[in-house]
Amino acid sequence: MQDLLVKVKEFKKIIDHSQKIVFFGGAGVSVPSGIPDFRSADGVYSKATNTIYSAEEMVSRTMYFRDTEFFNDFYFKHLVYPNALPNPCHTYLARLEEEGKLKAVVTQNIDGLHQAAGSKVVYELHGSVHRNYCIKCRTFHDLKATLEAPRGKCKTCGGYLKPDVVLFEEGLDHNTIMSSVEAISKADTLIIGGTSLVVQPAASLVNYFKGKNIVVINKTDISVPTYLNPNVLFIKADIGKTFQLLNEL
């Protein structure tokens, strides 16, 4: 705990001396909010689906159009958490943005918790469960309407709703990628949190960083390209606890 406190104090000094911070986050950011880290040892992607399909096949574009009901059963059970609330990481970042220090959040998450905490500039690389469109009449539905009976069906025409999330076999949105690259390339400090940096192409975006400091917060060791910057502060700890300490400081 003492070692964590020392590192968090160093983290705080970096924040105090930064003017253009960008946060790059993964699934671990939302774990303190009760949303599983899907790629961990006991996460969704590592567990059996009780079918002949892998978890990746279950949330693929092919599965959505082949058997939408089958897709929806898995999707709503494992990827949608309507009652999750922002944790100290989300709220601290929102406050940094309000103070003008944080310029953008680049997230691999689809839960919308950064926006719920108050963040305005959020680039959602993999989309959001909060946006859903009817594949028949293109009517927009928010998450609340999507979850209302009949779940996953359009309340206008009865067609199936497709979540605005990047399924396997689909590409990332070009504008979101370019906005993320621009933000990261202009940052003086890059905070990488709750991600193993293995999910591509999202993880490769950190290669565009040209600033002074990188802070990595993750429960397990991850490899950050050394050519990016020699000033890397690694905090091997729970991200919720780390930002809670920042709040207390």
The residue with tokens 């680039």 is 123
DSSP state of 172: P
- Would you name the residues annotated as active-site residues? 126
* Domain contains 236: yes
> 201-218 pLDDT, tens per residue?
888 899 999 999 999 999
Looking at the predicted structure, is the pLDDT value of residue 238 above 70? yes
Strand order across the beta sheet in which 161-165 lies: 140-141, 127-134, 161-165
Q: What is the pLDDT of residues 106-159, one digit of tens each?
A: 999 999 999 999 999 999 999 999 999 999 999 999 999 999 999 999 999 999
Largest CA distance in the chain: 59
| Residue 220 domain flag | yes
CATH number of the domain bearing residue 224? 3.40.50.1220
Structural domain range at position 14? 1-35+86-126+172-249
Can you give the pTM of this predicted structure? 0.92
pLDDT given at position 220: 85
pLDDT on residue 221: 82
Token pair 């946060």 is at which residue? 23
- Whether 248 is in a domain gets the answer yes
CB 158 within 8 A of CB 141: no
- The secondary structure of residue 135, as a DSSP letter, is T
Give a yes or no: residue 208 inside a domain: yes
Bridge partner residues of 214 (DSSP): 190, 232
Q: How far apart are CA 153 and CA 167, in angstroms?
A: 18
Token pair 């104090």 is at which residue? 9
In a domain, 74, yes or no: no
